[in-house]
A = this chain, B = another copy of it.
Amino acid sequence: MYTIGQISEMFDIPVSTLRYYDREGLFPDLQRCSGIRRFTEKEIEILHVIECLKMSGLEIRDIRQFVRWCSQGNQTYEKRYDLLQKRRAVIEDELEQMKKALDMIRFKCWYYEQAMEDGNEERLNKMLPDKLPEEIQALYDHAHEKSR
């Protein structure tokens, strides 16, 4: 069992945020001893899940819905499963976009390395958009691909 301060350290989340999460109903089974919150493994697992679902862009109220289902027993397995499948799709998509963004940034890093060497972008501009060195071209093309 942990105090709010210990959990705050453990997850590197401000105490005020943990209290806010509690207020928003994210810890439906949180126990208290004379007013003081007692976090257990249950709440720790919820916090892991919160971090993942937040990453996938889920809003607090939908996370609340999920954790509520969790404390409602085995009638809600399907609902929880469906939500997670949707989040999986979202996060897989986001991951792809991130990779694109990363390739763009890698390309730009190369670009400015060259620009700094040359002192200008003349040589570089002649190489755009399709006469870049093979590896760099791959980054550039990936970054400029249309999604969907």
Contact = CB atoms under 8 A, between A and B. Distances in A.
Contact of A74 (B49, B77, B94, B119): B119
A88 B105 contact: yes
A15 interface: no
A105 to B, nearest CB: 5
Interface of A: 48-49, 51-52, 55-56, 74, 77-78, 80-81, 84-85, 87-88, 91-92, 94-95, 97-102, 104-106, 108-109, 112-113, 115-116, 119-121, 143-144
Number of copies: 2
A101 B52 contact: yes
A92 B101 contact: no
A65 to B, nearest CB: 15
